[in-house]
Structure 1
Amino acid sequence: MNTLQTSIAPAATVLLVDDQPIIGEVIKRALAHETGIQFHVCTDGREALSVASRIKPTVILQDLIMPGVDGLEIVRSYRANPVTANIPVVVLSSKEQSTVKSNAFLAGANDYLVKLPDAIELAARIRYHSSSYISLRQRDDAIDFLSHDMRSPQTSILALLDVYRQENAVLPPELERIGTYATHALELADGFLHLARAQSEWRQFEMVDLSEIVVVAVDQLWEKAVAKGCRISVDAPHSSLTMFADPLLLTRLVTNLLDNALKYGPGDSTVRCLLADTQEGLLIGVEDEGTGIPTRESDRVAERFVRLPSGVVNEGGGFGLGLAFVNFTAMKHRGRVIMNRTDRGFMIGALFPRAEQTLPRASGGR
């Protein structure tokens, strides 16, 4: 039984980045009797990223103090590179200090050990992080496959309908409905992919200007607003509002809110994008002139795959993936989703702690 379990267990590939050869030798001997663990050493911190990109380890053991380079900068370089962005990093340090640990986690480390760690504990942590990373990669592969299988038939249907429309000038009502359903299915596939990716990927936090985030998001939805006969206005303070955040996730949060407002709000109306520094925190909100979501449904609407009753937002209701992404992103930035009725209609937004209070989650969603 033990032999069978060992043979099917996922292998771990370990990269130790430490300038002291003796450390590499000690850890190599500590892992010598462990099956399924391949061990590599890099003694030059300046080569760490290129070595990691080449061998693609399932876990990196990273020393903090190295000549000519800061160990925390090496950790940040892993997170900024697509090849190594999600590889678990275990920091090895000679210091048992809370501030050092905090800085390591803020830089993107997944774990922290004071060297030299006990051999049994080290092997257990290597196997744990490697197994989690391998599962994450398998999940990503499954998501890519599923996304392709969900998208491909819908794009083919829409392409055929476009050909028919070009040849016949207009589509029969039945084909128009087919096109609508195909478009909805395609949007659902995209929403699923964006949410799954956001939940599985480690992304780099940085100080961002929220006004720039809003401008980029509005620009992405401008054509869709014009096509529906709507206008998008931006209500933001003249002074800069900044927070420590993932710019890509925040931009998609705003685009999802705008997209929902355009999709479910009335045509020939104004959608207002709000940015404000309130007593409760930093607010990014989108207000439309529609009837909004009933109070009885507001607690459910941010759940995945929730379908609201017909007539709540428009004919056929809607799926909750867009707002599920908003909810996930808000929580990842230690914020929350808010929904309010206004004099003009309905506003959905996210409320975040101010910049000095906002910190990224150290594990990156693992």
Structure 2
Amino acid sequence: MNAPQRKQSLQLDAHGRLRHLLTLEGLPRELLLQVLDEAEAHDKALRGQRKKQDALLGRTVINLFFEPSTRTRTTFELAATRLSADVLNLQVAASSTSKGETLFDTLKTLEAMQADMFVIRHESSGAAHFFAEHAAPGVAILNAGDGRHAHPTQGLLDLFTIRRYKGGAGESGSDCFAKLTVAIVGDVLHSRVARSDIHGLRILGTREIRVIAPPTLIPAGIEDMGVKVFHDLERGLDGVDVIMLLRLQKERMLGAFLPSPGEFHRDFGLTRARLARLKPEAIVMHPGPINRGVEIEGDVAYGPRSLILQQVSHGIAVRMAVMSMILGRPAESAPRRSRR
């Protein structure tokens, strides 16, 4: 069994349903589309009169964040609350892990509190897989970002946003990916978001995926993931439908990966002038938090082509969809897909 197959067997039950969500790598296209459809139904409910649902009533969700986060932790908390779950946000810096407790001991201690799902964010790649491999039956693990490895719900909300604005919802909207050229720009080397986006875009059949960055911020062998590498921003942006900008992750940089943030902006920052190289209907995305004047110009970040704030909003619906598919009942208005 190869690596993607092992990951899939850990994430899915015998009927092909989600048990855990650790990575998008190796997941079936049909399952990704089901998540996006579920998210459409939850988003519709959130924009209507019925913002509160009972899909997770009586369930306990623990947000276990070993790394700081605002957007991700808050949207997970809102998503679980909207589904009527009991939510505990664990302050790890003040917990027993700072006293030497192992990850395994932490997991078993919290399981004893009858938690149903752990939403885990950790600085080490593979931490979410460790929890999933050692979790008790019936306890779900949802990866909120592990090291450089994966951030699957961010990948899903990015796919959701692209489909919403480039193709619409449903079967016909999903076909939009085959017509798109997507560029991922910036600190690809340290970005778990970039990896999840690439896996998701490939699964949904995206026509062309480009990564654009200085050579020092491109992972070795990334071409094997089915992407085209550019070191020149102007060339890489020609004919692009979607541009995803990445934050420079200085906290993960142990050496001199680039001369300075100012020089990075000069060579790779998205400005109003460079925006003109994109297709007229192209959209701009960023997982946040943004660094104004580094990866993006302030006017572009909140300009008419930017969907950065919409991504944040979509994150609630997407995370509701994943949680309800794993632990609860799916949204009533979500279309049902027959398995092919």
* TM-score calculated relative to the size of structure 1: 0.24
Larger relative contact order (C-alpha < 8 A, sep ≥ 6)?
A: 2
Higher helix share: 1
* TM-score calculated relative to the size of structure 2: 0.25
Higher strand share: 1
Larger radius of gyration: 1
